[in-house]
Amino acid sequence: MRKHLPALLAVCAGVLLGFWALLPPRPAGLNAPGFSALRARRDIDVIAKAPHTAWDPPSLVPVRDHIRGRLAAMGLTVTTNRYGPIQDAFGHTCTLENLAASIPGRSGSCLLLVSHFDSAPKKRPKEEEGSCGAGDDGYGVATMLEIAGLLTASKAPLENGIRFLFTDGEETGLLGARAEMERNLGAYQDVNLVINLEARGIKGPVVMFETGRNNLASLRMYRRAHRAFAYSFAVDVYRRMPNGTDLTEFINKGFSGLNFAVLEDLSYYHTPRDNPANISLGSLQHYGEQVLPVVRAYAADARYGGREAFVSRQDMVYFSWLPGLFFSWSRNADRLLSGCLAVLILAWAGWTLATLQATLAGTLRWLLVWAGLAVASLAAGLGTSFLLAKAMHAMWRLTYLPKVPHERLLTWGMVVALALVAYVLGGRRAHKGRMDRAPLLGALGLNLVLLLVMSVVMPGGTFLFSMPLLVCFAAVVLADVTQRPVAALIGVVFTVSLFVPVLHLFSLALTTGALGILLLIAAFPLALAGSVARCEDGLGRR
């Protein structure tokens, strides 16, 4: 048991660091100089007193009146953009009233903040009725009002302008945003960046989960966020999903944009439990902490003016690590990084084979073993989610099987089981008592293959392979050079801490339906971490 203690401690440290990254910030008090969740929540208390859907027009009147009143009190002129009557996909007819306001800037360019003020009606037979829209999208509306209040209170003239759009009928088919884009596009000629604030849950960290196409320049802007929380992988996944938010309408017209949402706890989403009593002040604070610095930087810096300021030719690859650390680099730099990693690891593998620390046949065998583990994980996850759907009499969908009892326990239980298998496998030696690096070389090789595949298929996901490869490889080399085997465990700590939030967000976004994909994604870093954790055994006997 003592032999396994360092590895166990490394995994525990990684898990703790990983969950630490998921904690939203502490809400700032009523008199805080910056964004304050406590102040912003007062708007949610008013807006979300009762359900207010586009299918019940009188229920939206007090909500619009509140938003108008708040903006007018800041000295802003509020415009009402009326569209309709419009028939939505559900057969309801409604007249839309979007609300708009702006703080002009010297350059004539504007950043547009968007959120929707309608709450979700019961659209499908199984859905619950009566969401008060405290999170969805009270978070967005309240964040925008708080930001408008802070900007107008400072009275300093802006270099670039900030516009605010509160949309109607989002929940019944993105109607408000679509009407703006289809019937009023000319009014958005001055907008060069759109920030949309959404919610698909009620708590947890706020994720920047979607961007426009070729997001390099928008991501440079997003780096200004305090406690930025985003993974380029999410953008690639979201682009392949049928889901849409108001931002979709803007992106379809070629706008650059950033989209933010909380994802945690679908059991509140579009239900009566989405009410002011259940909001998370930490999450609300996290919206403000990320968006306010971006808005302030945009408003103050002449470089962000002009129509082309956010036009790029490529995407960024990026990820968050620990609370507040955010790493991003261009697609071109990513290709270079992948190439260098491949050369480095292949050279090291060649040297390892040449010095008889492993055989080529053994390495290839281990590459197949780890690939087999990945396929088995995929099959186990798919099978489990499929059987669960059957047992629940629910329709099985790869990206949507919500409300599975004890889903979190089930998901993490399977990940832990997979980790144990990887650890046990990683310790198996072809030649007993002699150091054999074939398991490690196999795991490095498999991750390298996946890195190169991802680089072509889903470039936003390359960091899931390149970062563990880089850190694990460096840790093993460090352990070799210093003759301190325990140094290799740095790779384990890093890999686990990187993947805990990724897997958590993945399971929140795609639910238990995607359990198979989740385990598949987990299998590669766990194969690497398992063999790195056990390469210590071999080193000890050298």
| 137 is an interface residue for Zn ion by CB under 5 A | yes
Closest CB 199 distance from Zn ion, rounded Å: 6
Closest CB 87 distance from Zn ion, rounded Å: 21
Q: Using CB under 5 A, count the residues that bind Zn ion.
A: 3
Number of H helices, E strands in the chain: 16, 9
Tell me how far apart the alpha carbons of residues 54 and 486 are, in angstroms, rounded to a whole number.
60
Nearer to Zn ion, 103 or 177 (CB): 177
Strand 161-167 and strand 203-211: pairing? unpaired
Nearer to Zn ion, 135 or 293 (CB): 135
Q: E strands within 161-227?
A: 161-167, 191-199, 203-211
Give me the count of residues in the chain: 542
| 480 is an interface residue for Zn ion by CB under 5 A | no
**Stretch near Zn ion under the rule CB under 5 A, chosen from 136-144, 235-243, 312-320, 325-333:** 136-144
Closest CB 246 distance from Zn ion, rounded Å: 8
Nearer to Zn ion, 102 or 167 (CB): 167
Burial 212-242 (b: 16+ CB within 10 A, else e): bebbbbbbbbbebbbbbbbbbbbbbbbeeee
Closest CB 222 distance from Zn ion, rounded Å: 21
Distances (CA, A) of 124 to 363, 398, 479: 53, 19, 57
| 315 is an interface residue for Zn ion by CB under 5 A | no
| 249 is an interface residue for Zn ion by CB under 5 A | no
| 274 is an interface residue for Zn ion by CB under 5 A | no
Closest CB 47 distance from Zn ion, rounded Å: 13
Closest chain position to Zn ion (CB): 136
Sign of CA dihedral 26, 32, 33, 37: positive
**Full 3-state SS string of 52-67:** CCCCCHHHHHHHHHHH
Nearer to Zn ion, 137 or 168 (CB): 137
Judge contact between 235 and 216, C-beta under 8 A. Answer: no
Tell me how far apart the alpha carbons of residues 90 and 111 are, in angstroms, rounded to a whole number.
33
**Stretch near Zn ion under the rule CB under 5 A, chosen from 129-137, 272-280, 308-316, 421-429:** 129-137
Strand 191-199 and strand 110-116: pairing? parallel
Nearer to Zn ion, 190 or 198 (CB): 198
| 88 is an interface residue for Zn ion by CB under 5 A | no
Judge contact between 83 and 249, C-beta under 8 A. Answer: no
| 136 is an interface residue for Zn ion by CB under 5 A | yes
Nearer to Zn ion, 168 or 198 (CB): 198
Closest CB 116 distance from Zn ion, rounded Å: 6
Closest CB 187 distance from Zn ion, rounded Å: 23
Closest CB 531 distance from Zn ion, rounded Å: 44
Tell me how far apart the alpha carbons of residues 215 and 206 are, in angstroms, rounded to a whole number.
19
Nearer to Zn ion, 138 or 439 (CB): 138
Judge contact between 281 and 138, C-beta under 8 A. Answer: no
Closest CB 49 distance from Zn ion, rounded Å: 18
Nearer to Zn ion, 134 or 228 (CB): 134
Distances (CA, A) of 420 to 413, 425, 451, 500, 527: 11, 8, 24, 16, 10
- DSSP 8-state assignment for residue 27: P
| 289 is an interface residue for Zn ion by CB under 5 A | no
Judge contact between 292 and 150, C-beta under 8 A. Answer: yes
Which positions from 193 through 232 interact with Zn ion, judged by CB under 5 A? 198
Tell me how far apart the alpha carbons of residues 483 and 480 are, in angstroms, rounded to a whole number.
5
306 SS3 class:
coil
Closest CB 52 distance from Zn ion, rounded Å: 13
Closest CB 134 distance from Zn ion, rounded Å: 12
**Stretch near Zn ion under the rule CB under 5 A, chosen from 192-200, 213-221, 305-313, 452-460:** 192-200
**Stretch near Zn ion under the rule CB under 5 A, chosen from 30-38, 44-52, 130-138, 269-277:** 130-138
**Stretch near Zn ion under the rule CB under 5 A, chosen from 135-143, 463-471, 472-480, 515-523:** 135-143
Side chain identity, residue 211: T
**Stretch near Zn ion under the rule CB under 5 A, chosen from 7-15, 191-199, 275-283, 496-504:** 191-199
Nearer to Zn ion, 136 or 436 (CB): 136
- Residues near Zn ion (CB under 5 A) are 136-137, 198
